[in-house]
Amino acid sequence: MQPYSIFRPECDPRGLIFNSPHSGTFLPKKFLKQISIAPDLLHYSGDILVDKLIKNAPLFGATCFINNFARTYVDTNRAANEIDRDMFLNTTGESDFDRTQKVAMGFGLFSRKSYNGQNIYPDKMPSSEINHRLDLVYHPVHKALATLLDHCHQDHGYYLLLDCHSMPSYEFIDSGLSNNSQPDLIIGNCFENSCAPDLSQHVANYFIQHGLNVAFNVPYPGGFNTRHYGMPEQQKNTLQLEFSRVLYMDEKTLKSHDGFDTLQRILTGLSENLVKNLSGFFPSEKGL
């Protein structure tokens, strides 16, 4: 299985990339023998259907980058050293693992827990599994994504990476929130450190005009991709888009409902809108 798929526009490509790092569902046979949990449960940790929501973005010049492996196997929206050493045998000599808050919660580069808190593995794995998964999935994904972004920047003088995700319904975020106060979309720009503020607001305004309740950064300011690839001072901009799953799916079955087509049209329209308007944010864009 190829770790990623790239869908390029038939028209001239622009410096706009839609990325879906968590919508993949592929689980290797070796992995399925390692776990002690029903594989279907692991898909609740991912962003099922997000790749389908953005599939029409290339119609207007954007490029789509899609991860094919499930995030519970390798989460490419983590730093390469966000690893829980306790999941592996004979790692006492390793000193470069970063026990971040996500790692401590069981959601590091390799997930230790499922979305509902169940342990995924009954036993520790050999430490060789770390480099195996890094070489199979993590490094190829980031090499390809970085290359794509570099080419966009070289060709246009800028890029905008939209890292697309889904978030569970309001009770999983804050049980005190009502349905009406739960955002439909949380835009993460690392508190204006990953994307120019006027461009961030333009994207927010687009969704607001299409009836979505939009918030910024809390509780999702942006993951590794947003932080790592966002350097707005160099005209390298990134935004994380977290859509409430109730907009387009039944959260119990992970099946789409009538809202799916509406949100898909909105996202396709965002591609068209940005391709038309990005040059105004990047006056140095080559060829304009």
Residues 33-44 pLDDT 10s: 999 999 999 999
Across all residues in the chain, what is the average pLDDT? 93
Domain count, the chain: 1
Find, among 101, 48, 54, 44, the residue nearest to 78 by Cα.
101
| Cis preceding-peptide flag for 219 (omega within 30 of 0) | yes
Question: Does 241 map to a domain?
Answer: yes
Question: Does 193 map to a domain?
Answer: yes
Question: Does 62 map to a domain?
Answer: yes
Boundaries of domain holding 244: 4-71+149-281
**CATH classification of the domain holding 233:** 3.40.630.40
Residue 161 to residue 239: CA distance in whole angstroms: 6
Percent of the chain with pLDDT over 70: 92
Q: What is the pLDDT of residue 167?
A: 94
Q: CA-based Rg of the chain, rounded to a whole angstrom?
A: 19
pLDDT in tens, 268-282: 999 999 999 998 897
- Locus of tokens 């622009």: 14
Question: Does 287 map to a domain?
Answer: no
Question: Does 163 map to a domain?
Answer: yes
Percent of the chain with pLDDT over 90: 86
Enter the pTM of the model: 0.94
pLDDT in tens, 44-59: 999 999 999 999 999 9
